[in-house]
Amino acid sequence: MNFNYKHIIWDWNGTLLNDVGLCVEIINEVLNKRNITNLTLDKYRDIFTFPILNYYINAGFDFTKYSFEEVGLEWMNEYERRKRECLLHTGAEEILNQLKEKNIGQSILSAYHKDTLLE
């Protein structure tokens, strides 16, 4: 494999870490508790955006009825509890190692908490 790069910037969630299935499971649990229609994987991918508030609104949450902070904390607590169920995407480790062997710098840019990434 021939690389003409000096540095690669990776995203963590969904790019290196294969956590999309877990994310959909958890958002559907949070939606179910409020009798809101579940998301399919395709719908999740279609509506996921930042800021997260907009994603939650697109998922069906009415924040005149529910607290954004409560919904977000509920999702995050469950994700933190279950995150170790997720593995890297197939082939990710090999690509990371190939880049390392070629002395190509790598960084992770993520909206995820730095301390949690360092775990």
pLDDT, tens digit, 9 for 90 and up, residues 50-78: 999 999 999 999 999 999 999 999 999 99
pLDDT at site 118 = 78
User: Are 92 and 81 part of one and the same domain?
Assistant: no
In 3D space, the residue among 119, 37, 35 whose CA is nearest the CA of residue 80 turns out to be 119
Q: Which residue has the tokens 């933190």?
A: 80
Closest CA to 24 of 73, 82, 93: 82
* Model pTM score: 0.88
- Domain count for the chain, please give it: 2
Q: Note whether 98 and 76 are same-domain residues.
A: no
- To the nearest 10°, the Cα dihedral for 49, 16, 80, 28? 50
78 and 50 housed in the same domain? yes
User: Tens digits of per-residue pLDDT, 24-41?
Assistant: 999 999 999 999 999 999
Contact predicate 116/79, CB 8 Å: no
3 lies in which domain range?
A: 1-18+88-119
> Confidence band (pLDDT; 50, 70, 90) for 1?
low
